């Protein structure tokens, strides 16, 4: 399916202070009360306690993410196949596309992301890390396309096992492998991947700055980084935060999908600029993914979808009930679907 991206989809973003991306521990420390009567020992104890609380909060979030995908991945695969991400559609596409049409749109999302980042078969990509790999659909596709070695990481043991099983079934286990690992503490050496791929995993990261630094760390010199993720809208000049109703909408989505605080596409750009990355580009693909959530709801309301939903458990049911909020977020311009890409200097 041929891509049709308007030039206006490429965004030139102003730089601004990234105040919303501090790590939880740094944020908590910055809020510590100051008092002339507080002893050094007491201050130290307070700092340790708050850092421990932040660590506990992150661990609880990661456990929730793992449990969510342990429970829901089978349902998703049964209805939508092995690509656990949005499809890329022409604007105003009908949600009445066949199931095969939606799966083609998911493949197109991979192809459009590679094209936007300038990743071609001539680039000689040899090693790829798929950060937040789901059940490995992107890894297997990229490995087949480029003949590259792909390693995927996920917090979900169920996803990692299923991804490895599918790789074996598709005779790709010599090229791809999957393991349980934390994207914020990746178990890889510095500078070893030609392509660092994150397809809709950034929204789960509680510390966006650390997330980006890890992507940069494992990228090889000259390597390409691609982040495709849910974002909130860019703040206007003079705005310090989203409007209360916008934040309330995102908070309701966060509770169901185990998401920490959201950030904007421009926040990601600022982070990459602060790390002196090259060829930084971003685009808003919200219009191209708009048909996706109505399509997911439509399939969930089929007999097969309802039976599978009830069988999979409460997390899946809560996820289904939250889907209309995603549609509302896109329609009102609060939620944006962004791609951000850059190159690590040689």
Residue of 170, 95, 99, 92 lying closest to 136 (CA atoms): 170
User: How many alpha carbons lie under 13 Å from residue 282 in its C-beta half-sphere?
Assistant: 26
Each residue's pLDDT, cut to its tens digit, for the chain (346 residues) gives 433 333 333 333 333 333 334 333 322 222 333 333 334 444 445 555 545 566 778 899 999 899 988 988 887 787 778 899 999 998 766 655 566 678 889 999 999 999 999 999 888 899 999 999 999 999 999 999 999 999 999 999 999 999 999 999 999 999 999 999 999 999 999 999 999 999 999 999 999 999 999 999 999 999 999 999 999 999 999 999 999 999 999 999 998 899 999 999 999 999 999 999 999 999 999 999 988 888 777 776 666 666 665 666 677 677 777 889 999 999 999 999 999 999 999 9
User: Which segments of 36-184 does DSSP mark as H helices, in order?
Assistant: 40-80, 99-117, 137-146, 157-169
Q: How far apart are CA 312 and CA 164, in angstroms?
A: 22
- Given a contact cutoff of 8 angstroms between Cβ atoms, the answer to whether 143 and 132 are in contact is no
Tell me the C-alpha distance between 126 and 110, whole Å. Answer: 17
Structure tokens at 278: 């090259």
């Amino acid at each position: 399916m041929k891509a049709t991206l308007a030039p206006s989809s490429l965004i030139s973003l102003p730089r601004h202070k990234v105040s919303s991306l501090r790590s939880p521990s740094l944020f908590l420390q910055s809020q510590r009360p100051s008092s002339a009567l507080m002893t050094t020992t007491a201050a130290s104890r307070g700092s340790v306690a708050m850092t421990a609380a932040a660590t506990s909060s992150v661990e609880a979030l990661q456990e929730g993410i793992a449990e969510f995908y342990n429970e829901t991945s089978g349902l998703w695969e049964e209805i939508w196949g092995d690509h656990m991400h949005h499809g890329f559609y022409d604007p105003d596409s009908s949600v009445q596309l066949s199931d095969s049409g939606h799966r083609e749109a998911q493949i197109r999302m991979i192809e459009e992301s590679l094209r936007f980042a300038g990743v071609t078969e001539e680039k000689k990509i040899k090693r790829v890390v798929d950060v937040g790999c789901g059940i490995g659909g992107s890894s297997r596709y990229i490995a087949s396309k480029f003949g590259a070695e792909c390693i995927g990481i996920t917090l979900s043991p169920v996803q990692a096992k299923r991804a490895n099983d599918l790789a074996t079934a598709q005779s790709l286990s010599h090229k791809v492998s999957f393991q349980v690992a934390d994207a914020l503490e990746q178990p890889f050496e510095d500078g070893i991947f030609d392509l660092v791929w994150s397809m809709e995993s950034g929204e789960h990261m509680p510390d966006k700055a650390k997330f980006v630094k890890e992507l940069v760390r494992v990228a090889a010199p000259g390597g390409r980084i691609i982040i495709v993720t849910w974002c909130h809208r860019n703040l206007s000049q003079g705005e310090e935060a989203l409007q209360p109703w916008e934040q309330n909408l995102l908070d309701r989505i966060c509770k169901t999908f185990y998401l920490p605080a959201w950030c904007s596409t421009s926040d990601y750009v600022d982070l990459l600029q602060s790390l002196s990355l090259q060829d930084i580009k971003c685009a808003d693909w919200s219009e191209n993914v708009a048909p996706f959530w109505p399509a997911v709801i439509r399939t969930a309301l089929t007999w097969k979808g309802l039976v599978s939903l009830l069988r999979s458990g409460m997390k899946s049911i809560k996820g289904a009930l939250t889907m209309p909020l995603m549609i509302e977020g896109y329609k009102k311009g609060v939620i944006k679907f962004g791609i951000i890409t850059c190159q690590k200097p040689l």
